[in-house]
Amino acid sequence: RAVESQSEGQCAPVESLWRRYSEFELLRNYLSVTYPHIVVPPLPEKRADFVWHKLSADNMDPDFVERRRIGLENFLLRVASHPVLCQDKIFYSFLTQEGGWKEMVNETGFQLKADSRLKALNATFRVKNPDKRFTELKHYSDELQSVISHLLRVRARVADRLYGVYKVHGNYGRVFSEWSAIEKEMGDGLQSAGHHMDVYAASIDDILEEEEHYAEQLKEYLFYAEALRAVCRKHELMQYDLEMAAQDLTSKKQQCEELATGTVRTFSLKGMTSKLFGQETPEQREAKIKVLEEQIQEGEEQLKSKNLEGRDFVKSAWADIERFKEQKNHDLKEALISYAVMQISMCKKGIQVWTNAKECFSKM
């Protein structure tokens, strides 16, 4: 909920709101279309992926639902901390309005601005002069996604093995406890060693739950890679539209020059038609030249506008990408250090368990 004070006459925001996952998707789609130059924070996964085999992949599993709820809360915090997105009125109404929120989003007409996938794909293959920086950024986002995907798969395999190791300690505990029952002099030592093993084995669930927290942080940047590519695709579309406008303007200027001089530089159906059925009258030619001159003037203004729009987009997008990189470096560094500290702590606990067991055996 929004915490800032309300103006006089405004209703106070409700204490709590129910929002479905689809409403979060609608909000993110709106932000992506309205702010094409911004790396919009991603939503958490709708269905579990990269999970170790003992963890449920069911999207209705209470543990998964809770992790997704935390992820959605993190998404809201990311948007709220962004210098531009936090000021959006639709985002504010998402946090404060019980009803009518969807209607307000649809009234913005953002879906009409959304570029189709086919047009985006077309632009990717037909842009003649792509911006090198955005091309490199797209390659970087692909590599980032690949590396994090591999890291998450490795972590899932390690979690499986770790689970097995801890459960083996549970077997040690059971065997030592059973053994202590038939030994008089060694019984107490075996019983104590078995107790240490049981406590160690039982701690695996809390450990893997903490591990899952770090995995979710990595997954966020797995999905951020797609947000980066989305900015690159929008730039490609703008570049494609700019190149098409420049090409159309060049074509019209050539037509105008051909009509003015009476020469045809390139083969065209019109040229063949005029040769077969006779030349146009001077009046017809003058009228066509006038129309073309108006179209050329309009095209030049449009090209100038598209050039300015493109430069503004690049400037704004690159500023936001730099902000994202700084955030990414900080977050991933913190998550990886915390993960390393957790692994070190786990290993120390393992050493301590066997040290305690050694002392138990020594006292027998």
Q: How far is CA 173 from CA 176, 186, 282, 346, 357, in A?
A: 5, 15, 104, 18, 11
For the chain, which residues make up each domain, given as ranges? 19-35+44-113
If you classify domain 19-35+44-113 with CATH, what class do you get?
Answer: alpha beta
Helix-helix angle 132-180:282-362, to 10 degrees: 20
**DSSP three-state, residue 152:** helix
Cα–Cα distance, 257 to 143 (Å, whole number): 49
pLDDT computed for residue 237 by the predictor: 85
Could you tell me the two tokens for 31?
């932000």
Predicted confidence band of residue 276 (pLDDT cuts 50, 70, 90): very low
Of 1-5, 39-43, 159-163, least confident by mean pLDDT is 1-5
Q: Which of 284, 362, 325, 6 is nearest to 140 (CA)?
A: 325
pLDDT computed for residue 215 by the predictor: 87
**Contact status, residue 119 vs residue 241, Cβ threshold 8 Å:** no
Tens digit of pLDDT for each residue in 285-340? 788 888 888 888 888 898 899 899 989 999 999 999 999 999 999 999 999 999 99
pTM of full prediction above 0.85: no
Q: Which of 22, 85, 162 is nearest to 323 (CA)?
A: 85
